Amino acid sequence: MSPTVTTSSEANGNVSAATARAAASAAATAEAAGPQPVTMAKALNTALVDAMSADSSVLVFGEDVGTLGGVFRITDGLTKTFGEQRCFDTPLAESGIVGMAVGMAINGMRPVVEMQFDAFAYPAFEQIVSHVAKMHNRTRGAVKLPMVIRVPYGGGIGGVEHHCDSSESYYAHTAGLKVYTPATVADGYRMLREAIDSDDPVMFMEPKKLYWSKDLVDLSSLRASYEEGTTAGLASEGRAAVARPGTDATLIAYGPSVPTALAAAEAAALEGRSLEVIDVRTLVPFDDVTVCESVRKTGRAVVIAEAHGFASVSSEIVARVQERCFHHLAAPIRRVTGFDIPYPAPKLEKYYLPGVDRILDAVDDLQWED
Amino acid sequence: MTISADHTARDATSTGEAGAVQHEDALTEAVKKFGITAEDYMLPARYQIQMVDPDGRLKPDAEQGTEPGHEYPLPGDEELLAAYEQLVVGRRVNDQNSALVRQGRMAVYPSSHGQEACQVAAALCLSDGDWMFPTYRDAVAVMTRGVDPVQVMTIFRGDWHGGFDPLKHHVGIQCTPLTTQLLHAVGVAHAAKLRGEDTVVLAMCGDGATSEGDFHEALNFAAVFHLPVIFFVQNNKYAISVPLAHQSVAPSLAHKAVGYGMAGERVDGNDVVALLAVLDRAVKLAREGSGPLLVEANTYRMQAHTNADDDTRYRESAEVAEWRAKDPVNRMRTYLTDRGLLDSAGEARIAEKAEAVAAQLREGLSEDVPVDPQELFRHVFARQTPQLKEQSALLADELARDAAASSQEAAK
Ligand SMILES: Cc1ncc(C[n+]2csc(CCOP(=O)(O)OP(=O)(O)O)c2C)c(N)n1
Ligand SMILES: [Mg+2]
């Protein structure tokens, strides 16, 4: 039985029904105190619960997100806690899901929709490019679209065809969309909450191979600091993170490639090379400042991404860094990306994905002898 | 506000079969209300609804195409007079705009000449709180809804993609990607329903557009979520050059409704009396909770698709002439005059009003509105990005240097 829910007519409404609050604090008490091993999936789920508790205009819908809780269980329990009005299954139609979300956002809601897999978001492409990205601009700023499109993306899970695409470049290329992609469990929580609270539409790219990876985090203190606004100065949007400090070269990565970059930095350290790892976090807007500061310091850089390299986010990063840091560079910037081929079948994906060795080879190529 | 009672009730009992439960409700409701089977309620009446014939004569009740469960009372005189006034204004606006395009004052104008009855009825059937989602061809409907004519034309003048505030007027920006707006209509209706508001949403598209995927998705979503959306299809027989026969071989476009579990009806789209009768009832049913409806208006695009199109390449002038005889404005003038509701003084007053709107358009569009290049960066995001700030500074610098150079040039 679901509790009574109220909805707010204001996009930024902060109406929280007592029952929803109770549900949230029940979830909170289930969390043990202090840092615990928490999965990215759990952090994302908790962010959805907390956002829905904080603002009754937040709605979640998509395919299998209701009773099942999503094929990756990110929406687990939401229907039970918040009722069928606030988390529900739609007919199978991605354009329908995104198009309806546009209308709901126009009319005072904050929809958070799930695309079941990266490649199954393509039917919604027209809605995303022609409306989600442009509505604010077309209406000369009169209409805001506070909506989030969650996309589980990337490979490394042995998935079959159409389940492992890295589609972030399509969205990053589209003016009017913000593109977030968390790489850590804490960022999963923080960045999803931030995306939901954003008045701009956000493509929220979830690295599916990191869903089950765990970090030691304290969810209740994350929640408290987000809600008390103490993280206000630490907003993720437009802020890259230094995931590992170093001095000799900079590895620039995002989403699923961040742990790979960290592993490469670890291996390099054993060989006496100190690599700094930057986690880009939001592809749009891009944090030129943090990235360029690092490259100016180290003088060398490698950009790492699972996506095809040609005409991609990684090409954009190289171009931007080259434009801004040319005189600090000791070597051309290298890229380690997926090959320009359709994503391979499960038994072949290990040859495709950027791995530690390929990254270290690229680092070795950075003209150290000069 | 709490979520409406029927939702709460279902919550307590159902397990993910919300759609099915609603569907059953809709069926029982229809059968109860009209004493006919659900199927007969959803299928359009055997003939299109027509109340005033092309010669302006009121048809006998028995010949209006109505049937049990498909009954439409004649709209009141006041509503009909108001509609006639808007028809005359709409026709004048269409022809004025086409002239402005020829004079180079506007980039393009997809005229609804010949479809004014549909345009007017679509706007007049709605209440203030209701929403409309129009296409590129529906400028007259948007104006009839009360949006300033010059603001409506901004999209065609070329200084911005949209000229009015959708939230203020409850009208979506005129939409070009075919049928994508139908889903926005569904979303607006869904949000309103969740808040317990009784908003009705009218979603417009053309005959050709019914082949698009979003048309199907929108109708299905509206039906499954049981939303008060009226899908209003203006079947003007062509999608640019392609005739209806190449889009669909369904008995009529209104027949598509039954496949989604909603009621469909077809109506003479050049008979504003029948249009108002059918749309008024559709709005009433939708507001009462009967779910979505599909209304197909049988009309004709009298002119080329836009000024850029040459319709002699794909249709015979005899066909156009045939439809000229069915003109919606003339028909209504005859009908109202014969009924003694319209005299020459009334005609003169209406003509004057139409002329005033035309003058407003001529004036509003003759001025070159100064454009602000910096505005290019202003509305991309609610929260600006550093990259766009940088690019806007770049353009400002470029323009400043241009200005400096040309003043130097002038000084020489
Ligand atoms: C998705 C999409 N495909 C193609 C077009 C180009 N186009 C503009 S209008 C039109 C014809 C539409 O015909 P119909 O739906 O009958 O409306 P009408 O123009 O007759 O009012 C086409 C093909 C478009 N606007 N959007
Ligand atoms: Mg047409």
> Is residue A17 a part of any domain in this protein?
no
B187 and B170 assigned to the same domain: yes
Distance CA A136, CA B379 (A): 6
B284 and B407 assigned to the same domain: no
CA distance B17 to chain A (A): 10
B171 and B196 assigned to the same domain: yes
CB contact under 8 A, B378 and A141: yes
Q: How many CB atoms lie within 10 A of CB B37?
A: 13
B386 and B252 assigned to the same domain: no
ipTM of this complex: 0.89
List ligand 1's pocket residues with C-beta within 6 A.
B 137, 176-178, 205-209, 236, 238-240, 301, 305
Total number of domains in chain B: 2
Would you state the pLDDT for residue A94? 97
> Is residue B5 a part of any domain in this protein?
no
B263 and B331 assigned to the same domain: yes
> Is residue B76 a part of any domain in this protein?
yes
A153 and A220 assigned to the same domain: yes
> Is residue A29 a part of any domain in this protein?
no
Would you state the pLDDT for residue B25? 64
Residues of B in contact with A123 (CB under 8 A): 213
Would you state the pLDDT for residue B34? 84
The pTM assigned to this predicted structure is 0.91
> Is residue B141 a part of any domain in this protein?
yes
Would you state the pLDDT for residue B26? 59
Quote the mean pLDDT of chain A.
Answer: 91
B310 and B209 assigned to the same domain: yes
Q: Which helix (H) or strand (E) holds A151?
A: strand A148-153
A48 and A175 assigned to the same domain: yes
CA distance B357 to chain A (A): 24
A213 and A248 assigned to the same domain: no
Choose the final residue of a domain: A232, A258, A283.
Answer: A232
B105 and B125 assigned to the same domain: yes
**pLDDT at residue A230 is higher than 60:** yes
Share of chain A above pLDDT 90, in %: 87
Token pair, residue B114, equals: 């010949």
A222 and A136 assigned to the same domain: yes
**pLDDT at residue A11 is higher than 80:** no
Would you state the pLDDT for residue A165? 95
> Is residue A139 a part of any domain in this protein?
yes
CA distance B185 to chain A (A): 6
A136 and A277 assigned to the same domain: no
Q: Domain of A271: which CATH number? A: 3.40.50.920
A327 and A206 assigned to the same domain: no
Taking the CA atoms of B255, B256, B258 and B263 in sequence, report the sign of the dihedral they define.
negative
The answer to whether A201 touches A176, Cβ cutoff 8 Å, is yes
What range does the domain containing B254 cover? 25-366
Q: Domain of B175: which CATH number? A: 3.40.50.970
C-alpha B209 to ligand 1 mean position (Å): 6
Q: Cβ of A3 under 8 Å from any chain B Cβ?
A: no
Q: Is A327 a catalytic residue?
A: no
Would you state the pLDDT for residue A323? 97
A327 and A279 assigned to the same domain: yes
Q: Which among A59, A130, A285 has the least Cβ separation from residue B386?
A: A285
Q: How many CB atoms lie within 10 A of CB A160?
A: 9
- CA nearest neighbour of A276 among A289, A258, A287, A284: A258
What range does the domain containing A289 cover? 241-363
A213 and A298 assigned to the same domain: no
Distance CA B154, CA B162 (A): 6
> Is residue B9 a part of any domain in this protein?
no
Using only C-alpha atoms, chain B has a radius of gyration, in whole angstroms, of 24
B133 and B230 assigned to the same domain: yes
Residues of A in contact with B195 (CB under 8 A): 7, 9, 108
> Is residue A124 a part of any domain in this protein?
yes
> Is residue B284 a part of any domain in this protein?
yes
B163 φ/ψ angles, rounded to the nearest 5 degrees: -120, 0
Q: Which residues of B are catalytic?
A: 301, 305, 314
Q: Cβ of B136 under 8 Å from any chain A Cβ?
A: no
C-alpha B211 to ligand 2 mean position (Å): 11
How far separated are the first and last CA of chain B, in Å rounded? 70
Mean pLDDT value of segment A236-253: 97
B36 and B160 assigned to the same domain: yes
> Is residue A10 a part of any domain in this protein?
no
B36 and B141 assigned to the same domain: yes
CA distance B20 to chain A (A): 12
A254 and A218 assigned to the same domain: no
Q: Give the position, in ligand 1's atom list, of the atom nearest the Cα of B212.
A: 1
User: How do strand A275-279 and strand A241-244 relate by DSSP bridges?
Assistant: antiparallel
A61 and A208 assigned to the same domain: yes
C-alpha B130 to ligand 2 mean position (Å): 25
A248 and A214 assigned to the same domain: no
More confident residue, A83 or A9: A83
Choose the final residue of a domain: A232, A254, A285.
Answer: A232
A10 φ/ψ angles, rounded to the nearest 5 degrees: -100, 135
Q: Give the position, in ligand 1's atom list, of the atom nearest the Cα of B180.
A: 1
Choose the final residue of a domain: B366, B385, B403.
Answer: B366
A258 and A182 assigned to the same domain: no
User: How do strand A241-244 and strand B263-268 relate by DSSP bridges?
Assistant: unpaired
- Phi/psi class of residue B106: alpha, beta or left (left: φ > 0; alpha: ψ in -120 to 50)? beta
Q: Cβ of A199 under 8 Å from any chain B Cβ?
A: yes
For residue B179, the ligand closest to its alpha carbon is 1
B400 and B284 assigned to the same domain: no
> Is residue A45 a part of any domain in this protein?
yes
- Amino acid B138 reads D
B162 and B300 assigned to the same domain: yes
Largest CA distance in chain A: 70
Total number of domains in chain A: 2
A290-340 tens-digit pLDDT: 999 999 999 999 999 999 999 999 999 999 999 999 999 999 999 999 999
> Is residue B159 a part of any domain in this protein?
yes
The answer to whether B166 touches A106, Cβ cutoff 8 Å, is yes
Q: Tens digit of pLDDT per residue, chain B (412 long)?
A: 333 333 233 333 333 344 444 555 655 666 677 889 989 999 999 999 999 999 999 999 999 999 999 999 999 999 999 999 999 999 999 999 999 999 999 889 999 999 999 999 999 999 999 999 999 999 999 999 999 999 999 888 888 888 899 999 999 999 999 999 999 999 999 999 999 999 999 999 999 999 999 999 999 999 999 999 999 999 999 999 999 999 999 999 999 999 999 999 999 999 999 999 999 999 999 999 999 999 999 999 999 999 889 999 999 999 999 999 999 999 999 999 999 999 999 999 999 999 999 999 999 998 888 889 999 999 999 999 999 999 999 999 999 999 999 999 888 8
**pLDDT band (50, 70, 90) for residue A247:** very high
> Is residue B17 a part of any domain in this protein?
no
Range with the lowest mean pLDDT among A16-25, A150-159, B129-138?
A: A16-25
Q: Cβ of B13 under 8 Å from any chain A Cβ?
A: no
Q: Cβ of A230 under 8 Å from any chain B Cβ?
A: no
Choose the final residue of a domain: A211, A232, A253.
Answer: A232
Residues of A in contact with B183 (CB under 8 A): 95-96, 98-100, 102-103, 127
The answer to whether B177 touches B211, Cβ cutoff 8 Å, is no
> Is residue A167 a part of any domain in this protein?
yes
> Is residue A8 a part of any domain in this protein?
no
